[in-house]
Amino acid sequence: MKKLLAIGLVLLTHLASAQNIHIRINTQHVSLVYGVSAEGRLVQQYLGQALQPAFADTTLKGKQEAYVTAGMESLLDPAIRIVHNDGNPSLELKYAAHESAPQKENDVTATTITLKDPVYPVTVILHFEAYYKEDIIKAWTEIKHAEKKPVQVTAYASSMLHLKADKYWLTQFHGDWAKEVDMQEQYLTTGMKILDSKLGTRANMLQSPMFLLSLDHPAEEENGEVLAGTLAWTGNFKFGFEVDEHNALHVNAGINPYASDYTLKPGEIFTTPAFIFTLSPKGKGQASRNFNRWALDYGVLDGRGPRLTLLNNWEATGMDFNEQRLTALFGGTKKLGVDLFLLDDGWFANKFPRNADNAGLGDWAPNTTKLPHGLGYLVQEAQKQGVKFGIWLEPEMVNPKSELYTQHPEWVLRLPNRAENYFRHQMVLDLTNPAVQDFVYGIVDKTMSENPGIAYIKWDCNRMLTNTWSPYLKEKQSHLFIEYTRSLYKVLDRVRAKYPHLPIMLCSGGGGRTDYGALKYFTEFWPSDNTDGLERIYIQYGYSHFFPSNTMAAHVTNWGHQSLKFRTDVAMMGKLGYDIKVDDFTEKELQFSHDAVETYRRISDAVWYGNLYRLVSPYKENRAVFQYTSEDQKKTILFNYLMNIAKNDVFAAVKLQGLDPQKNYRIREINLYPDTRTSFHFDQLYSGDFLMKEGIQLTGNGRSLSSNILEITAE
Ligand code: DGJ
């Protein structure tokens, strides 16, 4: 009895002291504070603008359980659900410990909070990394247990956040092939709204894993509180937004548990991907600037490293080419002055030649009719002309019409007892099988080592997972979606161990893969096959909320009816490339394009690393204005697009942002088409103050589908 009393006392003291615990996760402008309830549960006490160091956390009132468990008393959609060995489907998580340690020159602080179930041996660790300067928080979770046999984990959010406002407005980035990231905003009514993907490989074809959540009113560009979030996972994701009966909002973000019950062995650690978010007090503009800066320094491979301009042959030739035709195209690369020639789909397979998309995928030997001297010859020929050479691969896929399919039917994801289902005449390889991982890695490694000098890869992935079943996973089919993505990362880890800085473009039939789980392996991504200059404005505008411009491959092609100048100006806001028949260019077109490439090199520092201000949204007016300003405020590049102007359009002066009010700036139109003159008359110096308060008229020549680039330099 005495002993029991003693234990009781220890527990009480422990709980009492636990209640004084306040765990602050701080960035420069954001604070997330956790505490411990009287029952010993971890509660979110605060999420909002940074609290001053002197602020007494004890006054914080938030009592919402931080990481809601299933099977207990909460009425909310849970962050985690576990079914134990004895069939009990409940989990209670109590605070056990926490730790906080600054890393990396104190910019990043890592915090862990350990939670334990008092009845079952289950431990959950909540991880946070707070990026102080960038105002970004990365949150993920580890789940483990020491029960005798495996438990079933059927929900496993990376993070759960709780917000309280009068109203909530959610922006999603919805799409389809050639219509990626269309921004749609809605008012959240009571109940649940879910943004998710169940498509597996080409996971983001319909929905991109990112959202903006505006508090109290629809999201504005430079005003109001906006939470921007994304999941670093190249697969199925789910964001749940639940407005409860008290008008509080609960956000659950993580891997989509759809068809993915996870059998977790004793001692095994289930690590969720990171949910990455920022909370901006200055609208979505500041939220994207936070993301862009974080991405350049932490999120993207070689974020501040070099990027190659290129000429791609996909739009110009499709799969209809041979050695002569390709080497002739190298000349175009040279004439444009870009760094690299990128050979796209159609260069491989012999028994089932890759002359169309219905054959050859999986047989990665150069087609001897098209390329009798192999790839190495092309690399050398390109080098002779002073350009680098890059190659397209789609290593995760197979056409049934291929030798690979015949030799390894057991490597293909498909239902054993039903008709095969094709998308673009192809199927997905069972990457969960280590032999397939070796094969996929081997394709990259073989292509690279047999053809020294290859300087770039475009990694494509043209179909999603449907009718799927893994011969390798057998009775563990519910692990397929998760294991596929983990296996992809295993392959990419091997690729990066051997080729750490090779530029690789992430492509998925357009923008079907666009996430920070992949971008730590890739230097850039292909936002969309849609390169129509006008439609690209919307697409690049959408992605710019989360991704810096040097990650967005943007090619000048023949899509769209706009002038070459207009299409080039749009591509110059991303990572510039061409995919066009250069030989069909007139002299003037060539002159313009060559000069544009040079101009791009000169301005790319500001465009890639500068702060982006989306001054006019194409969703709001028949024009769009983007401003990129260097950190030191000395250089601004402004892109101005007049779209399909209506008769009654009156365009107000555009006020610039982020300049130094004290500095004087000179404005000059650049990237003019040969023999044209600027229609602006900026023949004086303007103070930053004037440009930001009074603004400038940007009507230009006033014609639909015209564009301008202005270089604004401090003197
Ligand atoms: C889809 C990509 O998005 C295109 O750019 C091109 O590479 C084709 N695949 C090739 O099959």
Q: What is the CATH number of the domain that holds 669?
A: 2.60.40.1180
209 CA to centre of ligand 1 in angstroms: 21
Q: Work out the mean pLDDT of the chain and round it to a whole number.
A: 96
Residue having the nearest C-alpha atom to atom 1 of ligand 1: 509
Q: Is 507 in the pocket of ligand 1 (CB under 6 A)?
A: yes
54 confidence band (pLDDT: 50, 70, 90):
confident
480 CA to centre of ligand 1 in angstroms: 26
d(CA 581, CA 312) in angstroms, rounded, equals 10
- Cβ neighbours of residue 4 under 8 Å, at least 6 residues apart? none
Span 35-48, pLDDT tens digits = 999 999 999 999 99
d(CA 108, CA 106) in angstroms, rounded, equals 5
d(CA 514, CA 264) in angstroms, rounded, equals 28
Please provide residue 300's backbone torsions phi and psi, each rounded to the nearest 5 degrees: -115, 145
- Cβ neighbours of residue 504 under 8 Å, at least 6 residues apart? 456, 457, 458, 459, 495, 521, 522, 523
Statement to judge: residues 503 and 357 lie in one domain: yes
Residue 263 has pLDDT above 60, yes or no: yes
pLDDT of the residue at 11:
38
Q: Is 459 in the pocket of ligand 1 (CB under 6 A)?
A: no
Domain that holds residue 621: 613-714
Task: Reduce the DSSP state of residue 668 to 3 states and report it.
Answer: strand
Under 8 Å between Cβ of 308 and 389: no
Number of domains comprising the chain: 3
Task: Reduce the DSSP state of residue 444 to 3 states and report it.
Answer: helix
109 CA to centre of ligand 1 in angstroms: 40
> Residue 247 is which amino acid?
N
505 CA to centre of ligand 1 in angstroms: 11
Q: Is 509 in the pocket of ligand 1 (CB under 6 A)?
A: yes
711 confidence band (pLDDT: 50, 70, 90):
very high
Q: Which of 570, 588, 608 is the last residue of a domain?
A: 608
Under 8 Å between Cβ of 495 and 523: no
Statement to judge: residues 261 and 334 lie in one domain: no
> Residue 522 is which amino acid?
F
Residue 5 has pLDDT above 70, yes or no: no
181 CA to centre of ligand 1 in angstroms: 18
Residue 15 has pLDDT above 80, yes or no: no
- Report the candidate in 328, 426, 342 with the shortest Cα–Cα distance to residue 385: 328
- Report the candidate in 403, 440, 401 with the shortest Cα–Cα distance to residue 422: 401
70 confidence band (pLDDT: 50, 70, 90):
very high
Q: Is 526 in the pocket of ligand 1 (CB under 6 A)?
A: yes
Q: Is 483 in the pocket of ligand 1 (CB under 6 A)?
A: no
Span 405-458, pLDDT tens digits = 999 999 999 999 999 999 999 999 999 999 999 999 999 999 999 999 999 999
The residue whose CB lies within 8 Å of the most ligand 1 atoms, and thus the one to mutate among 201, 204, 317, 344, is 344
DSSP assignment string, 91-154: ---EEEEEEEEEEGGGTEEEEEEEEE-SSS-EEEEEEEEEETTTTEEEEEEEEEE--SS-EEEE
Statement to judge: residues 363 and 451 lie in one domain: yes
Statement to judge: residues 531 and 457 lie in one domain: yes
Q: Is 559 in the pocket of ligand 1 (CB under 6 A)?
A: no
Task: Tell me whether residue 9 is in a domain.
Answer: yes
pLDDT of the residue at 251:
98
pLDDT of the residue at 61:
81
The residue whose CB lies within 8 Å of the most ligand 1 atoms, and thus the one to mutate among 179, 204, 314, is 314
57 confidence band (pLDDT: 50, 70, 90):
confident
Task: Tell me whether residue 247 is in a domain.
Answer: yes
205 CA to centre of ligand 1 in angstroms: 14
Statement to judge: residues 544 and 628 lie in one domain: no
Ligand 1 atom nearest 526 alpha carbon:
3
Task: Tell me whether residue 261 is in a domain.
Answer: yes
Statement to judge: residues 363 and 271 lie in one domain: no
Residue 420 or residue 648, greater confidence = 420
Task: Tell me whether residue 590 is in a domain.
Answer: yes
Statement to judge: residues 617 and 520 lie in one domain: no
Ligand 1 atom nearest 529 alpha carbon:
3
Statement to judge: residues 593 and 623 lie in one domain: no
Residue having the nearest C-alpha atom to atom 11 of ligand 1: 345
d(CA 589, CA 586) in angstroms, rounded, equals 5
Task: Tell me whether residue 658 is in a domain.
Answer: yes
Q: Which of 299, 325, 351 is the last residue of a domain?
A: 299
pLDDT of the residue at 53:
87
d(CA 525, CA 549) in angstroms, rounded, equals 10
574 CA to centre of ligand 1 in angstroms: 18
CA angle at 381 for the pair 376 and 382, rounded to the nearest 5°: 100
Q: Is 348 in the pocket of ligand 1 (CB under 6 A)?
A: no
Q: Is 347 in the pocket of ligand 1 (CB under 6 A)?
A: no
Q: Is 529 in the pocket of ligand 1 (CB under 6 A)?
A: yes
Ligand 1 atom nearest 392 alpha carbon:
7
Write the CA distances from 496 to 81, 364, 368, 395, 500, integer angstroms.
Answer: 35, 20, 30, 16, 4
CATH of the domain at 461: 3.20.20.70
Q: Is 345 in the pocket of ligand 1 (CB under 6 A)?
A: yes
Span 677-701, pLDDT tens digits = 999 999 999 999 999 999 999 998 8
**Residue 561 burial by Cβ neighbours in a 10 Å radius (0-12, 13-18, 19+):** exposed
CATH of the domain at 243: 2.70.98.60
Q: Is 577 in the pocket of ligand 1 (CB under 6 A)?
A: no
- Cβ neighbours of residue 259 under 8 Å, at least 6 residues apart? 198, 478, 481
Residue having the nearest C-alpha atom to atom 9 of ligand 1: 509
664 confidence band (pLDDT: 50, 70, 90):
very high
> What string of H, E and C letters represents the secondary structure of 542-557?
HHCCCCCHHHEEEEEC
pLDDT of the residue at 17:
72
For the segment 216-233, the average pLDDT, to the nearest whole number, is 98
Q: Hey, what's the torsion of the CAs at 9, 11, 12, 15, to 10 degrees? A: 160
Residue 94 has pLDDT above 60, yes or no: yes
% of the chain at pLDDT higher than 70: 97
Statement to judge: residues 27 and 73 lie in one domain: yes
Q: Which of 299, 325, 350 is the last residue of a domain?
A: 299
Tokens of 5: 């009393």
Under 8 Å between Cβ of 590 and 671: no
Under 8 Å between Cβ of 617 and 637: no
Q: Is 430 in the pocket of ligand 1 (CB under 6 A)?
A: no
Statement to judge: residues 281 and 359 lie in one domain: no
- Cβ neighbours of residue 295 under 8 Å, at least 6 residues apart? 303, 516, 519, 546, 547, 548, 551
* DSSP 8-state secondary structure symbol assigned to residue 247: S
For the segment 563-572, the average pLDDT, to the nearest whole number, is 98
Would you say the C-alpha torsion 558, 559, 563, 566 has a positive or negative sign? negative
Task: Tell me whether residue 305 is in a domain.
Answer: no
pLDDT of the residue at 3:
45
Task: Tell me whether residue 555 is in a domain.
Answer: yes
Task: Tell me whether residue 304 is in a domain.
Answer: no
For the segment 564-581, the average pLDDT, to the nearest whole number, is 98
Residue 363 has pLDDT above 70, yes or no: yes
Residue having the nearest C-alpha atom to atom 2 of ligand 1: 509
pLDDT of the residue at 8:
36
The residue whose CB lies within 8 Å of the most ligand 1 atoms, and thus the one to mutate among 458, 507, 524, is 507
Span 465-522, pLDDT tens digits = 999 999 999 999 999 999 999 999 999 999 999 999 999 999 999 999 999 999 999 9
308 CA to centre of ligand 1 in angstroms: 19
Statement to judge: residues 252 and 190 lie in one domain: yes
DSSP assignment string, 558-569: S-SSS-HHHHHH
Ligand 1 atom nearest 507 alpha carbon:
3
16 confidence band (pLDDT: 50, 70, 90):
low
Statement to judge: residues 292 and 315 lie in one domain: no
Residue 10 has pLDDT above 80, yes or no: no
Q: Is 460 in the pocket of ligand 1 (CB under 6 A)?
A: yes
d(CA 215, CA 426) in angstroms, rounded, equals 44
Q: Is 462 in the pocket of ligand 1 (CB under 6 A)?
A: yes
Q: Is 344 in the pocket of ligand 1 (CB under 6 A)?
A: yes
Residue having the nearest C-alpha atom to atom 5 of ligand 1: 529
Q: Hey, what's the torsion of the CAs at 50, 52, 57, 61, to 10 degrees? A: -50
d(CA 138, CA 156) in angstroms, rounded, equals 16
Please name the helix (run of DSSP H) or strand (run of DSSP E) that holds residue 575, with its range, or none. strand 575-578
